[in-house]
Structure 1
Amino acid sequence: MEEEKKFSVLDRIKSFKYAFNGLRLFFANDHNGRVHLFAAIAAIALSFYLKLSNLEWIAILSVIAAVMVAEIINSAIEKLADVIYPDYHPKIKVVKDLAAAAVLIAAFLAIAVGAIVFIPKLLLRL
């Protein structure tokens, strides 16, 4: 039977190091990651400009996180699939398409939330 590892603060700190390295790799190597980062920065800048309420900030930051999480998972699935089967395979294509669909749904949600939050405030400024 495997011995249970004791809790280690050092191991928890190392896990953060790996996670931050994953973010660095994602933004450095993934074109879509950089596109989403640019969109997130623009949305955050617009949020400051329009002086959003706390609930509006929660909505905007939540959809930004949802898109980023979906894109990171999509990227990880694509890279893993390419290692498992580098050539074209119809079942691998289905897996990649499903992961991309998750990003698309998150992006549509972000657009809808952004429209609901930003459009009325922008129209008031015209």
Structure 2
Amino acid sequence: MKKFVIGRIKSTRYALQGFWLLVRTEDAIITHSIGFLVFVGLGFYFELTPTEWMVQLLSFGALLAIEGLNTGLEKLCDFVHPDFHTKIGEIKDIAAGAVTMIFFAVVAVLMFIYIPHLIR
């Protein structure tokens, strides 16, 4: 049991190190995080319902998580094949496309949440 707990503590430490590395070094994560904070402020201003809060937080969480996966995949591609290669470029483009898809989904969610509040 002690070994299990120590393993979980180490895993958490590594995860937090990765999170901090993303926040310190990736412009896209910083940009999305600023957007997240702006919409948290708007959420308080418009007094969102608990359901609206949940959907907003899950949407931004998904965006940040997929952006993190995209960054990790890009770094892996650069490590495996540092020189330009068409297939590596395609892999990076597909990963960036996934970020774009979730970004548009988040925009749609935010429109569904905030347009009714703006109309009132």
Q: TM class by shorter-chain length?
A: over 0.9
Residue type matched to 2:59 in 1?
V
**CA-based RMSD:** 1.1
Give the 5 Å matches for 1:38-57.
38-57=34-53
List gaps (5 residues or longer) in structure 1.
Answer: 1-5
Give the 5 Å matches for 1:18-97.
18-97=14-93
- Cross-structure match for 1:109: 105
Q: Distance in 2 between matches of 1:18 and 1:41?
A: 25
Which has a greater percent of helix? 2
The TM-score normalised by the length of structure 1 is: 0.91
Partner-residue secondary structure (3-state), 1:87: coil
> Percent of aligned pairs with the same residue?
35
Shift of 1:14: 1.0
Query: Which entry has the higher C-alpha Rg, 1 or 2?
Result: 1
Partner-residue secondary structure (3-state), 1:8: helix
CA displacement 1:37-89 (0-9 Å, x = unmatched): 00111111111111111111111011101100110000000001000001110
